[in-house]
Structure 1
Amino acid sequence: MRNPLPPVPGKLLEIEVSDDLRRGTPLATLIVAPSEEDGDAVLEEIGGVRPTGKAGDVQTVPTGDVRWLAGVGDGEPRHYRKAGAALVRAVSSALGDDVKAGLKAFRTFAVELPADAGAEHVEELAFGLLLGGYRFTVTADEPKPSVRTVRLLTRHERAVPAYDKALERVRELAAAAAFARDLANAPSNIKTPAWLADTVVATARAKGGLPNLTVSVRDEKWLAAEGFGGVLAVGGGSAAPPRLIELEYRPRGATTHLLLVGKGITFDTGGLSIKPADGMHLMRTDMAGGAAIIAAVRAIAALRLPVRVTALVPAAENHVSGSSYRPGDIVRHYGGKTTEVGNTDAEGRMVLADALVYGIKKHKPDVVIDAATLTGAMKVSLGVRTGGVFATEDALAERVTKAGERVGEAWWRMPLLEDLAETVQGSLGDVRQAPGGPGGIVAALFLREFVGDVPWVHLDIAGPARADKTYEDVVPGATGFAARTLVELVASYA
């Protein structure tokens, strides 16, 4: 049967810098709003339109050389991201209107940068332009005409090389976020663990492959032989068997080694502890943590960062059948530790436990980071735009949050409360999987039982991994959250 999905990873907008506006190219200009110091000052009209300058406010100009006015607020870099995202959506809409009106479809537009725009402003603008128009649609219709290139115009010829250099990094970071979105958005009737593994292999080998990056895929027979009891228990109820995806990036001369582990549940019914029907369709994105890690490693290799990275994504489908694992089961993980199962819908920690022990024992990393859409409790704690950070070291937690700040992803440190540690200790088994209590914290304490003394940080992205409305460079669906932070985090060790 033909795969109905669009290409994964999808193609992003091309972005370039120039000091020359070519004739016939639709033009947008960025507008800074009047400051409080300006009192009641208003901006001059452009083509009959009085711009507001409000961040993300895009106005169409009916006459003159400029077609769109995009506000960047007070000119702070973060407002440029919002402006870029809103602008690319407005331009795409205008392109569609032109085609409907029988006009020739333009495929390039230009954005005039303010004279005082620096590299940081250009980076933020580029993030918005590259990701704000993201789409993932499974359809039989022919693709709609879309913009292919955006040209950033600067008045300073000397600035072009500096802006180009800044955009090299932004392109890869944006591509990582978009790739993670593609993987998480893919419907689960196609996205089995085997499909996910095959897609990772194909991506790593595309165009001759990425330098120093290798991918290995372990099937259910290997998992059984090695004793991956958590992965096999979770995946046992599905006709689609589980996989372990292992990526190794080994640049020459690297002195630091990071282990990344991502939850790869390609669909989550909750198992026998079945979820309510409302919202279950969103569980195609329950592998968003694994998607972020896969996409991040691809970008890390493309950027040739001088840090060794090993990534593990235990992929399984948590389904309901006569072979599903049960509440009350005792599961033996890789390495021998046993878990009392309390709720089959707490499956993410089951697969992560196997991968954490395996990765630490085999690869002996300096630092371990895991990412997962692990607990609904984190959405209650932090909302849907902020990820939770649980870390065994203060410096590591700060390194994550600072990395997120640099790429526009918000994180908040959560506590590993020692007075709750005893709640995850088992009576029939070594540990209890779902003992009750504050969900996000207890889940993190459970995972901590499987990492030993290695510096470790757990990223719970259950809230920000999905969006139900548009904001800044995010559109409804999978957000790709954490992919950019992970790349920036690895870069901080370079």
Structure 2
Amino acid sequence: MIDIEVSDSRRRGIPVATLGSGKAGEVRDGDGDFRWQVGAGEGSAQDWRTAGAALVRAAQSDGQPANAVQVELGPEPDGQTVAELAMGALLGGYQFKVTAAPAPAVRTLRLLTPHERAVPEYEKIVGRVRELAAAATLARDLANSPSNIKNPQWLAAAAERVVGEVSGVRATIHDEKWLAEQGFGGMLAVGGGSASPPRLIELAYRPRGASRHLLLVGKGITFDSGGLSIKPAEGMHLMRTDMAGGAAVIAATSAIARLGLGVRVTALVPAAENLVSGGSYRPGDVVRHYGGMTTEVSNTDAEGRMVLADALVYGIRRFRPDAVVDVATLTGAMKVALGLRTGGLFATDDDLAARVLAAGEQAGEAWWRMPLLEDHADAVRGQLADVRQAPGGPGGVTAALFLREFVDGVPWAHLDIAGPARAETTYAEVVPGATGFAARTLVELAASYA
């Protein structure tokens, strides 16, 4: 990520931008001392993020790419303006490419205020924003990493490395032998077709004095071929991002600890590869999950809910949290319902749902609450087993109803990010590829309990 400095004076030799009227993100040649004039639209939070992102992109694509850029904030910028502009700049210039010749990138952005007294306040704001942006960036990096490198062991090692750099977070990695001993049938079934066995990533943040405990569970399918219910070839390459929920959980847990939030957090990422071999699980199989509940498999491409079910029961019984949130690229139906920029929120508790929506608004991530339609609850009941994995009907709803069977009455929210977890085009602070969606929301959610 770029470095952001706050100052009350310009530095010679560094190009300067000004913020002005015009469509948010519109960049024009500036007048006089200004190389660029960047439109800030109507001045909404998204407009400022869009402006920050557009400035960095313009500087990186300029005929003479700049290593550093300065921007005049105007006579009376408020804290939110500074925060959103910085967030856009930090995320909008993101690039991920496996190459020996990285593209030119802006290294430093200087925010210029006319008031020396405002510098310390703005620096504090930028410091917090940087942690949120770092969480989204880490989630993007993990999800964008190609799956010939990223298997469950790689993801577990990456999680260990990330939290190893943060005080107060402990990582425990459970291997396939432990999973078999404990009865994690969903994870073992999904991972059975791969030469890379599954791993359960467990992260623990235990700040002193914390009275509330939040359990975060993120889907960690490092590649999803669909298994025997195999996906079409077109689009399968994008399934390297099918662990975007797990990436968001890992990144958010690290940021929560770095910010020193006073809430206990346990994070679980059930990681597996869903591939095709003689060891693959089959439609018609009956799988026994951690805790004993059984699932009748209908479609091996509905693997995310299988691994989440194990992790949810384990997390709730082992740690007894006050609230549970799972995050997953779970259903294509949610993309149809809400498009590619809004996440689906299902919840059994109104207070938890309200906290997620407020956290998303604070983070600049859009969520829409979806109904847990009781008319479809019977469809989840199994004939060969306790529950049916993929009964048909409204896919996002029935997937959520399936997961509800495993939460034992604890306040629970299910975040389906199948749409916004990856992007095909550039917009606001988002670039094509993995978006890091949900990481910032989870941090702000944790802050609401601190």
TM bucket by the smaller chain? over 0.9
CA contact (8 A) 1:211 1:304 kept: no
Partner residue of 2:27?
A: 58
Cα distance between partner residues in 2 of 1:380 and 1:398? 24
Cα distance between partner residues in 2 of 1:380 and 1:216? 37
Aligned counterpart for 2:44 among listed residues 50, 73, 76: 76
Partner residue of 1:233?
A: 189
Residue correspondence of structure 1 range 174-323 to structure 2 within 5 A: 174-205=133-164, 209-323=165-279
CA contact (8 A) 2:93 2:105 kept: no
1:89 and 2:57 matched: yes
Shift of 1:269: 0.4
Partner residue of 2:70?
A: 110
CA-to-aligned-CA distance 1:237-266 (integer Å, 9 cap, x gap): 001111000000000000000000000000
Cα distance between partner residues in 1 of 2:372 and 2:33? 58
CA-to-aligned-CA distance 1:381-420 (integer Å, 9 cap, x gap): 0000000000001111111011100111000000001121
2:266 alignment partner, SS class: strand
When Rg is computed on C-alpha atoms for both structures, the one with the higher figure is 1
Shift of 1:145: 3.2
1:122 and 2:82 matched: yes
Aligned counterpart for 2:358 among listed residues 397, 402, 407: 402
Q: Give the AA of the match of 1:184.
A: A
Shift of 1:465: 0.3
Cα distance between partner residues in 1 of 2:423 and 2:103? 24
Partner residue of 2:320?
A: 364
1:430 and 2:419 matched: no
Partner residue of 2:399?
A: 443
Cα distance between partner residues in 2 of 1:470 and 1:128? 12
Shift of 1:204: 1.6
CA contact (8 A) 2:91 2:430 kept: yes
Shift of 1:473: 0.3
Cα distance between partner residues in 2 of 1:318 and 1:466? 19
CA contact (8 A) 2:224 2:240 kept: yes
CA-to-aligned-CA distance 1:12-40 (integer Å, 9 cap, x gap): 10001100101111101111x2xxxxxxx
Q: Give the AA of the match of 1:162.
A: E
CA-to-aligned-CA distance 1:165-214 (integer Å, 9 cap, x gap): 11111000000001000000000000000000011111222xxx312100
CA contact (8 A) 2:185 2:310 kept: yes
Cα distance between partner residues in 2 of 1:322 and 1:195? 24
Structure 1 segments (4+ residues) deviating >6 Å: none
Aligned counterpart for 2:9 among listed residues 15, 20, 36: 20
Shift of 1:146: 2.1
Cα distance between partner residues in 2 of 1:464 and 1:224? 34
CA contact (8 A) 2:3 2:107 kept: yes
Q: Give the AA of the match of 2:55.
A: L
1:326 and 2:326 matched: no
* Unmatched runs of 5 consecutive residues or more in structure 2: none
- The alignment's TM-score, normalised by the length of structure 2, stands at 0.99
Cα distance between partner residues in 2 of 1:303 and 1:244? 25
Partner residue of 2:121?
A: 162
Cα distance between partner residues in 2 of 1:323 and 1:108? 53
CA contact (8 A) 1:389 1:411 kept: yes
Partner residue of 1:138?
A: 98
CA contact (8 A) 2:45 2:364 kept: no
Q: Give the AA of the match of 1:395.
A: D
CA contact (8 A) 2:16 2:69 kept: yes
Cα distance between partner residues in 1 of 2:28 and 2:128? 30
1:29 alignment partner, SS class: strand
Q: Give the AA of the match of 2:299.
A: N
* Unmatched runs of 5 consecutive residues or more in structure 1: 1-11, 34-52, 100-105
Shift of 1:153: 0.1
2:334 alignment partner, SS class: helix
Partner residue of 2:64?
A: 98
Cα distance between partner residues in 2 of 1:60 and 1:238? 54
Shift of 1:143: 2.5
Q: Give the AA of the match of 2:448.
A: S
State which drifts further: 462-471 or 158-167: 158-167
1:492 alignment partner, SS class: helix
Partner residue of 2:339?
A: 383
Q: Give the AA of the match of 2:37.
A: L
Cα distance between partner residues in 2 of 1:167 and 1:292? 21
Shift of 1:116: 2.3
2:116 alignment partner, SS class: coil
Cα distance between partner residues in 1 of 2:84 and 2:348? 32
Cα distance between partner residues in 2 of 1:91 and 1:171? 20
CA contact (8 A) 2:50 2:88 kept: yes
Q: Give the AA of the match of 1:167.
A: V
